[in-house]
Amino acid sequence: MILTDRDKKLLALLASMGFMTTKQLARTVFNNIAITTVLRRLRILEKADYISRVEGLKNNENGWCLSLKGADAVGVLNPKRRFNRATLEHDVLLADLRLILEGQGIAHTWIPEHEIKSKIARSHGIKRMDSKTVPDGIMAVEYQGVKHSIAVELELNYKNQDRYKNIFWSYRFREQLLAVWYFVPSKRFGESLSRLWLKHLGQISRIWLLWSEVDDVLDSGSLAKIHYFNQSHQISDLFKAKAAQVPALRVSSLNKEKSQNREEVNSEKETELPAKVV
């Protein structure tokens, strides 16, 4: 099988993202052509053992990851190969957030969780993994003309306070980070995290706590709100966007999304924060 330029782009994207759904690949690689056409090419790549199917998503949608052969084709040593069915929906949502932030030029680079874990394992050994707080990703942004790194946490379910205390304390000494940016399901959730951060670290921490509502970012992209305690800004006012091709945001309607899911199943059957205190 001869890989096309689009095939190579798809493999490289899966190498970086770790996991994507059929619809995400349709938007980013296939320019929103018919989902049946997308699935036809994905099945060809699957049969040739360049990609693997990841099952277990809602509505019987398919996810995809690199096979070892596919990883070798794009020069990747440690592709993400293991997936927890309990966190697949989290992974889909995280991929959507990343595609929006990268596509709109807010995130200049992004190191995903599986690459961070691989680096830790190589540096400290697998046994040290449990003692390390690993974010969902680390993204590079430009704030006040300077490049900074931000840890990304997609937090859909509330943990107990002791767990948050340990996580927050683990971030306290990471001076290479500007902030931890939480994406949460509600305003109440974000405000609760802010209160816990103040309780355990205070507002003079070297690391900032930022939060945004997931749905706001999915719907509005860089125009969504980002919060720092009692302050709110538009994301694009806070972090400078570089030139980028903006991908489509969330599916425009629930009915359209359901229609796309049915088609796939049938085809298968066939501004500025305060000065940082240092």
In this predicted model, which residue has the larger pLDDT, 226 or 248? 226
| Residue for token pair 């309607």 | 253
What does the block give as tokens for 256? 């359209």
- pLDDT > 90: what percent of the chain? 62
- Full-model pTM: 0.85
180 Cβ contact partners less than 8 Å away, ≥ 6 residues apart:
135, 150, 151, 153, 171, 207, 208, 209, 210
**Cα–Cα distance measured from residue 196 to residue 146, given in angstroms and rounded to the nearest whole number:** 29
In this predicted model, which residue has the larger pLDDT, 205 or 176? 176
Task: Delimit the domains of the chain by residue range.
Answer: 1-82, 84-247
Neighbours of 219 (CB within 10 A): 13
What does the block give as tokens for 131? 């003692």
Predicted confidence (pLDDT) at residue 130 exceeds the cutoff of 80: no
33 Cβ contact partners less than 8 Å away, ≥ 6 residues apart:
26
Order of strands, sheet of 225-228, starting from the edge strand that comes earlier in the sequence? 109-112, 137-143, 146-154, 177-184, 208-213, 225-228, 231-234
Which of 3-7, 98-102, 111-115, 246-250 has the lowest average pLDDT? Answer: 246-250
Neighbours of 68 (CB within 10 A): 13
**pLDDT one-digit tens code per residue, 45-55:** 999 999 999 99
**pLDDT one-digit tens code per residue, 234-248:** 999 999 987 655 454
**Cα–Cα distance measured from residue 60 to residue 151, given in angstroms and rounded to the nearest whole number:** 31
**pLDDT reported for residue 104:** 93
243 Cβ contact partners less than 8 Å away, ≥ 6 residues apart:
105
Question: What's the CATH number of domain 1-82, 2.30.40.10, 3.40.50.880, 3.40.1740.10, 1.10.10.10?
Answer: 1.10.10.10
**pLDDT reported for residue 226:** 98
In this predicted model, which residue has the larger pLDDT, 61 or 216? 216
Predicted confidence (pLDDT) at residue 215 exceeds the cutoff of 70: yes
Determine the 3-state secondary structure of 232 from DSSP.
Answer: strand
Predicted confidence (pLDDT) at residue 210 exceeds the cutoff of 80: yes
**pLDDT reported for residue 60:** 83
**pLDDT one-digit tens code per residue, 140-186:** 999 999 999 999 999 999 888 999 999 998 888 788 899 999 999 99
